[in-house]
Copies of this chain bind each other. A is one copy, B any other.
Amino acid sequence: MSESWSFLDTVEPNFRPLVVVELAKGTKEETREWFTKRIVDKKANGGAQLLVKPLGTEDGEENIYLVGASHLRLLLGAETVGLVKECNDNSMRTFTYSSRKTFKGFADDNHNFLTIAECQYIIKHELENLRAKDEKMIPGYPQAKLYPGKSIVRRLLTNGILVQIFPLHDREELKKLRHSWYGRVKVGYQPLDEIRCYFGETIALYFGFLEYFTFALIPMAVIGIPYYVFAWEDYDKYVMFATFNLLWSTVILEVWKRICAIMTYRWGTLLMKRQFEEPRPGFHGVLGINPITGKEEPVYSSIKRQIRIYLVSLPFVCLCLYFSLYVMMIYFDLEQWALDYHEENESTFSSLMLFVPSIIYAVVIEIMNRIYRYAAEFLTSWENHRLESSYQNHLILKVLVFNFLNCFASLFYIAFVLFDMKLLRQSLATLLITSQIINQFAESVFPYWLQKRHKKRMKKRVCSMKTDTDLSLVEQVNLEKEMGTYFGTFDDYLELFLQFGYVSLFSCVYPLAAVFAVLNNITEIYSDALKMCRVYKRPFSEPTANIGVWQLAFETMSVISVVTNCILIGMSPQVNALFPDSKMDLMLTVALVEHLLLAIKFIMAFVIPDKPRDIQIKLAKLEFESLEALKQQQMKLAAESLKE
């Protein structure tokens, strides 16, 4: 069968375009030929053994290619990337081609055994693992150096010859998904399994977390409403609410780990073995020997990286944090000045002037956030991390700290320096609600509108073209390649993280925050779904087993909120009235309660198992089986040796 594959023979009857490869306009003929040849070439010759079909464009230049693969090739690829699938006996096992018959739903003619997201992930993996053999450079581009084992796609990307690789939408499937996700007005859970099949585990986990988090906030919201309605200001009721919130936030974060384990076990990613990570595209260094693989690749001294992190990035971040605090102090001065001005000469102008500092501050914060984001990306990239995961972690940490300070520093200042609870409540409400409205608008509604407009224009243009290939496919590809790229779940998680901060950090001051968060998240689910389905290019699926560093970020936030809430309660006049004689006793009590709550939190996190019992048993069973298999093998060997 592999004999019949060749460059010219790619238009098979069952060719199903899965991934689009866009080369730069004007890429040399020689390069295009060499690259497509490498994609279809046999594995034995160092190719990827995939199918390629050029997409006809108006000017006849072939710079866009559709990549697909035969069913068999995809199954073998599934084995290479180590996909885990459900077997006929309901256990989850790593898929191997030789044991394919034992898997649930497998049949030689069932092309739905692998989800589309999995197929596209496999193709991406195979393309990225297309490695240089003895080529010293990309043919036609002497400046694009290659060395044996270098990923060709990454070199093409860094040299700008390859514009982008993206997976194609499946219009049928997408329609079905849209319908069950947000197409009808209904009360119920999101179709997480379908989302996972279409968009992959990372995105399904984000939506799962968003949904779970919304449900988890409901008890806080329900308890918070009467505080607002009846204007309860009693000490005991506030303390009870805050205590409930603090312990509840630990419980929900621990329970999420369990739910996450259940989902990712079902999806197979919990069991998926970590693959050896290749250097990220931007990584550079002197050509040397990787001590782990023993192969030639760029190496960069870890000490140099540490120096860059601790002597440049860390001071820079601290400086930015200081600057942000400085700007905040200016804002408070301005605010005070506007207030004084208003009091002195009361007029319409002066009352309008009252809003000016807030507006300026909001704009400045937004600008600082954006500048800082670029700086953080530049710095993290300059730190030259070898792995994408470590790059991501360092970037997330930098952005997280700065955003945390920008969002909450003014609230901390109002609470713990100005001691103005009324202003705190007011600022909190303003910040929370405006940030929610702006986010929803900026994130989905506006891009959706842009996209709609663009689509109409495109449709007109495509319709006027005359080509013999399937019109709607060309149209689709041209539409999708112009869509914005979804840069991962980072900003979505960040939004949730800051929201969690608004809800938990000052929960005893503004119990209504949870209500707004719940309302926002319900619409957020819909607007994010719209964003994924309509606004952005389809992203590649990324198998993941958990929400990674965000779990830690949320847990840290919940620890900080214990401290802030205890101080806030300690400062409240009701509590102060309970200790009329001695401030010392009050402070000691507050400190004691705080330490007790922290201790309970840590004990709870320790006692609640991260995985439910049945998942633990299933994992133990798999481990036991592999140990037994090993032992059987060894016993056989041993028996043979003893007989000698």
Which residues does A use to contact B, with CB under 8 Å? 1-2, 43-44, 49, 72-73, 76, 79-80, 96-98, 273, 275-276, 291-294, 302, 563, 583-584, 587-588, 591, 595, 613, 617, 620-621, 623-624, 627-628, 631, 634-635, 637-639, 641-644
Determine the chain B residues whose CB is within 8 A of the CB of A584 once the complex forms. Answer: 583, 587
Report Cα–Cα, A595/B563, bound state, in Å. 9
CB pair A613 B302 closer than 8 Å: yes
Determine the chain B residues whose CB is within 8 A of the CB of A43 once the complex forms. Answer: 635, 638-639, 642
**Chain B nearest CB, measured from A386 CB (Å):** 11
Given A43-B638, A634-B79, A638-B76, CB of A627 within 8 Å of CB of B583 = no
Report Cα–Cα, A628/B457, bound state, in Å. 50
**Closest B residue, CB atoms, query A310:** B607
Given A275-B627, A591-B591, A595-B563, CB of A2 within 8 Å of CB of B642 = yes
CB pair B76 A641 closer than 8 Å: yes
The 3 closest A-B pairs by CB, nearest first: A76-B638, A292-B620, A587-B587
Determine the chain B residues whose CB is within 8 A of the CB of A621 once the complex forms. Answer: 291-294
Report Cα–Cα, A595/B598, bound state, in Å. 12
Provide 12 A-B residue pairs closer than 8 Å at the C-beta atoms, listed in order of the A residue.
Answer: A1-B642, A2-B642, A43-B635, A49-B642, A72-B641, A76-B641, A80-B631, A292-B617, A292-B624, A294-B621, A584-B587, A591-B591
**Closest B residue, CB atoms, query A302:** B613
Report Cα–Cα, A613/B638, bound state, in Å. 37
**Chain B nearest CB, measured from A272 CB (Å):** 12
Which of B72, B273, B292, B638 contacts A79 (CB under 8 A)? B638
Report Cα–Cα, A481/B79, bound state, in Å. 56
Tell me which of A44, A583, A623, A624 has the highest count of chain B C-beta atoms within 10 A of its own C-beta. Answer: A624
Report Cα–Cα, A73/B620, bound state, in Å. 29
Report Cα–Cα, A225/B487, bound state, in Å. 59
CB pair A44 B624 closer than 8 Å: no
Inter-chain pairs besides A43-B635, A72-B641, A276-B628, 10 sampled, C-beta below 8 Å: A2-B642, A43-B638, A44-B639, A79-B634, A80-B634, A97-B634, A276-B623, A276-B627, A292-B624, A293-B621
**Chain B nearest CB, measured from A128 CB (Å):** 15
**Chain B nearest CB, measured from A12 CB (Å):** 15
CB pair A617 B291 closer than 8 Å: yes
**Chain B nearest CB, measured from A288 CB (Å):** 14
Determine the chain B residues whose CB is within 8 A of the CB of A624 once the complex forms. Answer: 276, 292-293
CB pair A96 B634 closer than 8 Å: yes
**Closest B residue, CB atoms, query A622:** B292
Determine the chain B residues whose CB is within 8 A of the CB of A1 once the complex forms. Answer: 642, 644
Determine the chain B residues whose CB is within 8 A of the CB of A273 once the complex forms. Answer: 627
Given A276-B623, A587-B584, CB of A641 within 8 Å of CB of B97 = yes
**Chain B nearest CB, measured from A597 CB (Å):** 14
Report Cα–Cα, A11/B89, bound state, in Å. 51
Determine the chain B residues whose CB is within 8 A of the CB of A623 once the complex forms. Answer: 276
**Closest B residue, CB atoms, query A556:** B602
**Chain B nearest CB, measured from A298 CB (Å):** 16
Given A583-B583, A617-B292, CB of A643 within 8 Å of CB of B275 = no
Report Cα–Cα, A294/B97, bound state, in Å. 27
Report Cα–Cα, A340/B37, bound state, in Å. 100
Determine the chain B residues whose CB is within 8 A of the CB of A293 once the complex forms. Answer: 621, 624
**Closest B residue, CB atoms, query A594:** B591
Determine the chain B residues whose CB is within 8 A of the CB of A276 once the complex forms. Answer: 623-624, 627-628
Determine the chain B residues whose CB is within 8 A of the CB of A644 once the complex forms. Answer: 1
Which of B294, B302, B591, B642 contacts A76 (CB under 8 A)? B642
Tell me which of A49, A275, A637, A638 has the highest count of chain B C-beta atoms within 10 A of its own C-beta. Answer: A638
Determine the chain B residues whose CB is within 8 A of the CB of A76 once the complex forms. Answer: 638, 641-642
**Closest B residue, CB atoms, query A634:** B79
CB pair A637 B98 closer than 8 Å: yes
**Chain B nearest CB, measured from A72 CB (Å):** 7
Determine the chain B residues whose CB is within 8 A of the CB of A44 once the complex forms. Answer: 639
Report Cα–Cα, A273/B613, bound state, in Å. 22
**Chain B nearest CB, measured from A638 CB (Å):** 4
Report Cα–Cα, A35/B84, bound state, in Å. 45
Which of B613, B628, B638 contacts A97 (CB under 8 A)? B638
Determine the chain B residues whose CB is within 8 A of the CB of A79 once the complex forms. Answer: 634, 637-638
Report Cα–Cα, A215/B631, bound state, in Å. 43
Report Cα–Cα, A44/B642, bound state, in Å. 11
Determine the chain B residues whose CB is within 8 A of the CB of A613 once the complex forms. Answer: 302
Report Cα–Cα, A291/B595, bound state, in Å. 41
Report Cα–Cα, A17/B259, bound state, in Å. 54
